[in-house]
């Protein structure tokens, strides 16, 4: 599966993973089929085993196949920037050396910039990729109340801006 993504990346320099947690998406929940929040499952310095709840990071860091897939893919392609799309906070959150990109994205979409989401995120992807690996990492928290059609134009403008940088 990684080979398929590598081929697409080599052709465009852009890589789009539509959904890492298909089970969670289908069931409208944060966790995967093992009850693990993938955004708490990365092998970070601040990873911690917690009680099983919506933010459960697993029995150990990188225990989940989806986490391993993303780690292997990023180590292979060595991206210059990562953009993840989440909801519902309507903010441009960033980790690592991404403040300049966050400002440009904020200007396009009209959301405020928030360097912290406001609560602890041990084992998060942003910490793993942005802070610990120094890959500029943006989490664009979209408004879940807005019609997707209204997001197309600004999101594609963001993609275009990133492609030209």
pLDDT of residue 107: 96
Name the residue with higher pLDDT: 29 or 12: 29
Prior bond of 88 cis (ω within 30°): yes
Structure tokens at 106: 């904020």
CA 104 to chain centre: 18
| Euclidean distance between CA atoms 86 and 40, whole angstroms | 15
Average pLDDT, the chain: 89
pLDDT in tens, 70-84: 999 999 989 999 999
The whole-angstrom separation of Cα 64 and Cα 47 is: 14
Class level of CATH domain 2-163: alpha beta
Across the range 22-51, mean pLDDT stands at 94
- Find, among 17, 76, 64, the residue nearest to 40 by Cα: 64
Beta bridge partners of 37: 31
For residue 71, the model assigns a pLDDT of 97
Name the pLDDT band for 156 (thresholds 50, 70, 90).
confident
Give the residue ranges of DSSP H helices in the chain: 2-12, 22-27, 65-77, 99-109, 125-126, 148-163
Q: How far apart are CA 31 and CA 109, in angstroms?
A: 28
94 beta partners: 138
Q: Tell me, what's the pLDDT at 68?
A: 97
Please give the Cα distance from 22 to 6 (Å, whole number): 20
Q: Are 106 and 112 in contact (CB under 8 A)?
A: yes
DSSP structure class, residue 133 = S
Residue 93 in tokens: 């959150």
Domain definitions of the chain by residue range: 2-163
pLDDT for residue 146 is more than 70: yes
| Range among 46-55, 60-69, 81-90 rated most confident | 60-69
What is the pLDDT, as a whole number, of residue 17? 85
């Amino acid at each position: 599966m990684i080979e398929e993504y590598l081929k697409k990346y080599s052709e465009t320099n852009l890589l789009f993973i539509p959904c890492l947690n298909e089970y969670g998406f289908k069931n409208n929940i944060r966790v995967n089929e093992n009850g693990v929040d993938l955004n708490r499952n990365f092998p970070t310095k601040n990873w911690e085993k917690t009680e099983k709840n919506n933010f459960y990071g697993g029995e150990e860091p990188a225990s989940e196949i989806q986490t391993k897939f993303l780690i292997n893919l990023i180590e292979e392609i060595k991206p210059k920037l990562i953009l993840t799309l989440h909801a519902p906070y309507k903010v441009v959150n960033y980790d690592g050396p991404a403040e300049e990109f966050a400002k440009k994205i904020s200007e396009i979409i009209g959301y405020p910039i928030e360097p912290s989401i406001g609560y602890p995120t041990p084992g998060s992807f942003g910490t793993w990729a942005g802070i610990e690996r120094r890959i500029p990492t943006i989490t664009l928290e979209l408004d879940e109340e807005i019609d997707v059609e209204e997001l197309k134009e600004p999101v594609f403008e963001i993609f275009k801006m990133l492609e030209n940088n």
